[in-house]
Amino acid sequence: MATPPFPPPQKQVGPSASWERGWEKPRGKRGRPGGAQQACLAAPLPLSQAPLPLALSPPTWLGAPSLSPGPGEYGPVFTVFLGLQRVVVLCGYQAVKEALVDQAEEFSGRGQLPAFSKDFNHHGIVFANGQRWQQLRRFSLTTLRNFGMGKRSIEERIQEEAQCLVEELRKAEGTPFDPTFLLSRAVSNVICSIVFGNRFEYSDEKFLRLNKLITERFCIASSTEAALYNIFPEIMEKIPGAHHAGHRCSQQIIGFIKERIQVQQASLDPCAPQNYIDCFLAKMEKEKHNPDSEFCMENLVMATFNLFFAGTETISTTLRFGFLILMKHPQVQEKLHKEIDRVIGAGRWPSADDRRQMPYMEAVLHEIQRFSDILPMSLPHALTRDTHFRGYAIPKGTYVYPLLSTVHYDAEHHASPEQFEPRRFLDSHGRFKTADAFMPFSAGKRLCLGEGLARMELFLFLTTILQAFTLTSPVPLGEVSIVPDASGVSRVPMRYQLLVVPRQA
């Protein structure tokens, strides 16, 4: 019996289209690839019937417009038109895992987002492919490890920065404040110490301006204009809006990075590199006669941008969501305080080794990441070769969106996923347990290369803050909203006011 054709496009964003001819399941005995026959696919919905793709995935209960299907509506694999481009969408843990982990090589390519391609032009790590991506990722992983990612040296830097943050929070003295840029400066200083070799004072106006640019760029990436730009870049390029402001933010950040590179280039000792930029410059000099080398100034600037941006905004956004959630759930915060008092007390700094004795903190951190789901769509993947997936033959170069929201909100793996419930990461004895359907750093060959650093930062920053303070809301808890302010490529919490109450030593 012939297998059914490749699932039809279920939605379209863009002008209504005529019937399409497209991919299909391979034919032949026992599902083996057969002839290259084409099947007629159902017509996609016209624009007037389809919502804008501000997010392909966030749950609608969070108030975000969504193209994500309802449970069982289209199945775990379907196509969708983004403008005139047909992409494959993966929903649910099993489909995403089979693609990114079980068939990691085939799904390891990176699709492009026009709103970011204008900034990076395929340079750096995140939006690169082929040899460029492989060389830069391998180098960056090795260099970050050599400078202490996951080791005690970087742990000490985070501990010291967390104490600086505590001292800044004490200055609030019972006055409500917006924690956005204070958190971003603390987190940013950690990656600055690795990439640039030094931290900045919180009072440094240039540093504050830089962090505001990073936060603004992250928010713009989730705007309606940016979503439309990714679908209709040629049209949106001619229309004013926030999507242009995003590029201007990026250019200012790039300008700051170039200034730092020039300073370090002038004082470089290739035999004794002090940070990531030094190591890259030394590698450039070593391979300057190698025509196949990807170590050039353009890739240094953009790789530094990748590390600086991801190492600042994703972690600080997760912490902002975490603070907001803990304000909303004081009973969770109370349990965390008891665990901190029992394991650490007030007489020493929290350390990474404490995590093994703090199952509830570990569970809360995992639930904050699952619940906040700050990268709901992931970034687009691209097939590196013609691929058979779940019985379908999909051409090389096809863009694939693994919807991480449908992993984190997969009801088959997370009971009542719309509820914040740390106990889902605890067994019946109160011990921490992992969950398969948990991919805040993506999975497979495109797994975030800073995962180890991010996990350590989240634990040490949150534990240190809760050791010193109780986080409270200046407004009634019923008025505390967890609905994101923006939800697209990324999800950003609404700006809010926070009160920190010192705990008794």
pLDDT tens digits for range 71-93: 456 789 999 888 888 999 999 99
Q: Which three-class secondary structure string do you get for 293-321?
A: CCCCHHHHHHHHHHHHHHHHHHHHHHHHH
Tokens 């634990």 correspond to 459
pLDDT for 241 equals 84
* Residues 197, 432: Cα–Cα separation, whole Å: 36
Tokens 């019946």 correspond to 428
Annotated binding site for heme: 448
Element (H, E) at 82: strand 77-82
Residue 460 near residue 156, CB atoms below 8 Å? no
pTM: 0.87
Structure tokens of 31? 């599902």
The region of weakest confidence among 45-59, 211-225, 341-355, 456-470 is 45-59
Structure tokens of 469? 């303070």
Structure tokens of 437? 């359907």
Structure tokens of 298? 């353009």
* Residues 155, 19: Cα–Cα separation, whole Å: 57
* Residues 220, 223: Cα–Cα separation, whole Å: 5
Structure tokens of 452? 């180890």
Q: What is the mean pLDDT of residues 123-128?
A: 96
* Residues 215, 117: Cα–Cα separation, whole Å: 19
pLDDT in tens, 92-122: 999 999 999 999 999 999 999 998 888 898 9
Q: What is the mean pLDDT of residues 14-18?
A: 33
User: 313, 373, 367, 372: which is closest to 336 by C-alpha?
Assistant: 367
Query: What percent of the chain is predicted at pLDDT more than 70?
Result: 84
At 392 the three-state DSSP class reads strand
Tokens 């085939």 correspond to 106
pLDDT value at 145 more than 90? no
* Residues 279, 283: Cα–Cα separation, whole Å: 6
pLDDT value at 34 more than 80? no
210 or 3, higher pLDDT: 210
pLDDT class of 23 with cuts at 50, 70, 90: very low
Annotated binding site: 448
**CB under 8 Å to 76, separation ≥6 — which residues?**
90, 91, 92, 94, 95, 390
Structure tokens of 408? 């984190």
pLDDT for 453 equals 93
The region of weakest confidence among 68-82, 120-134, 336-350 is 68-82
Is residue 415 packed enough to be buried (19+ CB in 10 Å), middle (13-18) or exposed (0-12)?
exposed
pLDDT value at 151 more than 70? no
Residue 31 near residue 108, CB atoms below 8 Å? no
Q: Domains in the chain, please, with CATH?
A: 109-377+417-502 (1.10.630.10)
1 or 361, higher pLDDT: 361
Chain-centre distance of CA 453, in angstroms? 14
Structure tokens of 450? 């800073």
pLDDT for 17 equals 32
